Amino acid sequence: MRLLFAILVFISTFTFAQDRPKPVQKDPYFTSSAAPKKNAAPTETVKHRHSDQLRKDTKYDGNNYFVGNVVFEHQGSILNADEVVLYDEQNFVKAIGNVKLQNADGSVITADEMEYDGNTQRGIARKNVVLTDPKGTIIKTETMYYDRISNQAYYNTGGTINDGKSTTYSKSATYFLTTRTIDLTGRVKIEDAQYVLEGDNVVQNQNTNIVDINGPTTITNKKNPKNRIITDKGNYNTNTKEAFLYKNSRVHYNDKILTGDEMYYNQLTGFGKATGNVTLDDPLERRWIKGGYGEIFEKKDSAMMTKNPYAVKAMEKDSMYFAAEKIISFQRPDSLDIKVKKSFLRAYKKGRFYKSNAQGRADSIAFNETDGVLHMYTKPILWSNGKQVTGDKVEAYFNTQTENIDSLKVLGNAFAISKVDSLNMKDEFNQVKGKLMTVYYGEDNNIKEAKVIGNAQAITFSDDVNEETKEKERIGISLTSCGIIDAIFEEKALYVVECNIGAVADTYPMSKIEPARRKFQDFNWNTKDRILKWQDILVDTPNYEEVKYESDTALYDKAQEAIDKERAKEEAKKPKRVRR
């Protein structure tokens, strides 16, 4: 009897074990140790609403499963599928085939398979997963994790997001359905009809269509891939194509590059601006402009820089430097061939420029970079290897092949001055002036010749070689005036080689020409503002100490002293009148 009883107990126990359903092995996502959400509703049972059949066999380890037009409901969300397994004790379901979860907020998830935990209100959808939010944004992936309490969905198997205007590709994404923001990580690509955004870490807002950029990102113009935005941090509006950039940013446009500490750029209008350490680089022109604030106008192919701006024009042998209160650069089609673009640079208010053999300042400077023509307006002054040229307007012509100045044109009140001997401190200057002047440079890049037209005048110091000592001796000073003067500059001399139309020329010995006649009335040898090195253009004026030259009037003073003595003697010989 005892043996029979034991056998019956074993059989009954075995039978009970066989009938008891086996619990499901949940994905760790469902057993997360995260604290319950404050807004979580009380746990409710996942409820069966409809199915064609109810089955229970060994197919799902003894758990009930429903087949055909299955409908389950949980806290306002409706689950439809071809087949659903119910793990009743765990409040857990597994749906298979044509799965559709319609949430109370209007979002819909479809997939081939889905698991849902009624206790945590979390689910995992697998295979051909599609999430559609109430406003039509569609997310597609292979595996999606979703949380109904926090109202967010997540994937890390790669997926696409389409909002009707653009498509987003990413390795992983977290979609916050309440705010309609998507946190995208891994390699991200957002593409519409015109532009492609590629980055590592961005947040996309489906309400505002603004993308927050938090890693290296590039936004490329699909029609012209060379036009692009590069940044490490910023915001981009996919509707208006406006970019606000805050870190390591560059805007590439028309083969130029704008950089700055903070930047704004509108890809539709082509307007951009930058503040901080701003640089506009033009590699084709081999020129860049720096300043504290800059603006670009892509469609006009122009740019403006202020706040202590300066420009550098790189050349093979000798670069040029420009500075002013405002610098503008632009390109225009050549009037002779519209396919050819010409480049221009403008420096407004207190314009300065530096080149090794020519430096200058004027109220404004205009430089035709393509043709090599530089215009100086309003009180221009140009220095070149110890010589100074002034006038109402100065034009400098550069040889674009050799990059050297070929000639200068001075229009109105032209005046050229050169120190007689730069090695001494004597107050001696050769001078030539007139209405118009053309100055030519020699092979050594120094001023060689000046042709003056209209009321031409010259003051030149004349020397000759002593036959006995073989050394130069001062003869005197020549005063020349005529309609046209052609003068040649030597190292320490200025020779008037031609004087036409009403020529008048006189040479006075040093003892017979008073100091006042040794300089023209408007003589102004400027050493205070002279630009000696390129860094001098970075300030309004280097404000050098004015050079004090020694006036050499010994011979004249001695002659005057003799004349005064003779005059005194003659006065002494005259009879004195005595009043009675």
SS (H, E, C) 164-232: CCCEEEECEEEEECCCCEEEEEEEEEEECCCEEEEEEEEEEECCCCEEEECCCEEEEECCCCCCEEEEC
Helix (H) or strand (E) holding 560: helix 554-573
Any idea what DSSP says for residue 433? E
Distance, first Cα to last Cα, the chain: 190
Number of H helices, E strands in the chain: 2, 40
Res 471: pLDDT: 78
Q: Choose the CATH number for 380-579 among 3.40.640.10, 2.60.450.10, 2.160.10.10, 3.40.190.10.
A: 2.60.450.10
Spell out where 335-493 has E strands: 341-355, 358-368, 373-377, 381-384, 387-390, 393-398, 405-419, 429-441, 447-465, 472-489
Residue 301: count of CB within 10 angstroms of its CB? 19
Alpha helices in 34-161, H assignment, sequence order: none
Q: Is residue 14 over pLDDT 50? A: no
Helix (H) or strand (E) holding 80: strand 77-87
Alpha helices in 61-108, H assignment, sequence order: none
| Of 434, 445, 524, 525, nearest in space to 487 by CA | 434
Of the chain, the percentage scoring pLDDT greater than 70 comes to 90
Q: Which two tokens stand for residue 30?
A: 């469902």
Coil vs helix vs strand at 16: helix
Q: How far apart are CA 282 and CA 286, in angstroms?
A: 6
Contacts of 301 (CB under 8 A, 6+ apart): 254, 330, 331, 332, 341
Any idea what DSSP says for residue 145? E
**Residues 86 and 66 sit within 8 Å (Cβ to Cβ):** yes
Q: What would the mean pLDDT of 143-172 be, rounded to a whole number?
A: 92
Q: How far apart are CA 178 and CA 210, in angstroms?
A: 16
Question: Which residues make beta-bridge pairs with 295?
Answer: 273, 304
Q: How far apart are CA 340 and CA 366, in angstroms?
A: 20
| Each residue's pLDDT tens digit, 405-430 | 899 999 999 999 998 888 888 888 99
Alpha helices in 444-553, H assignment, sequence order: none
Any idea what DSSP says for residue 547? P
Q: Is residue 544 over pLDDT 70? A: yes
**Range name among 13-17, 95-99, 165-169, 265-269 with the lowest pLDDT average:** 13-17
Contacts of 335 (CB under 8 A, 6+ apart): none
Q: Which two tokens stand for residue 386?
A: 């110890």
Question: Which residues make beta-bridge pairs with 290?
Answer: 279, 310
- pLDDT band per the 50, 70, 90 thresholds, residue 105: confident
- pLDDT band per the 50, 70, 90 thresholds, residue 557: low
Res 7: pLDDT: 38
Q: How far apart are CA 42 and CA 44, in angstroms?
A: 6
Q: Is residue 13 over pLDDT 80? A: no
Hey, CA dihedral for 130, 133, 134, 138, is it positive or negative? Answer: negative
Q: Is residue 561 over pLDDT 80? A: no
Contacts of 265 (CB under 8 A, 6+ apart): 229, 242, 243, 245, 251, 258, 271, 272, 273, 296
Q: How far apart are CA 412 and CA 252, in angstroms?
A: 43
| Of 278, 212, 287, nearest in space to 251 by CA | 278
Q: What would the mean pLDDT of 441-455 be, rounded to a whole number?
A: 88
Residue count (the chain):
580
| Of 558, 528, 561, 557, nearest in space to 544 by CA | 528
Res 556: pLDDT: 66
Residue 62: count of CB within 10 angstroms of its CB? 14
- Tokens 């010589």 appear where? 387
Its pTM stands at 0.82
| Each residue's pLDDT tens digit, 450-481 | 999 999 999 988 888 777 777 777 888 889 99
| Each residue's pLDDT tens digit, 341-366 | 889 999 999 999 999 889 999 999 99
Phi, psi of 564 (to 5 degrees): -65, -35
Residue 45: count of CB within 10 angstroms of its CB? 10
Q: Is residue 493 over pLDDT 50? A: yes
Interior/surface letters 196-223, b for 16+ CB within 10 angstroms, e for the rest: bbbbbbbbbbbeeebbbbbeebebbbee
Question: Which residues make beta-bridge pairs with 117?
Answer: 92, 122
Res 551: pLDDT: 81
Q: Which two tokens stand for residue 352?
A: 């300065």
- Average pLDDT, rounded, for the chain: 87
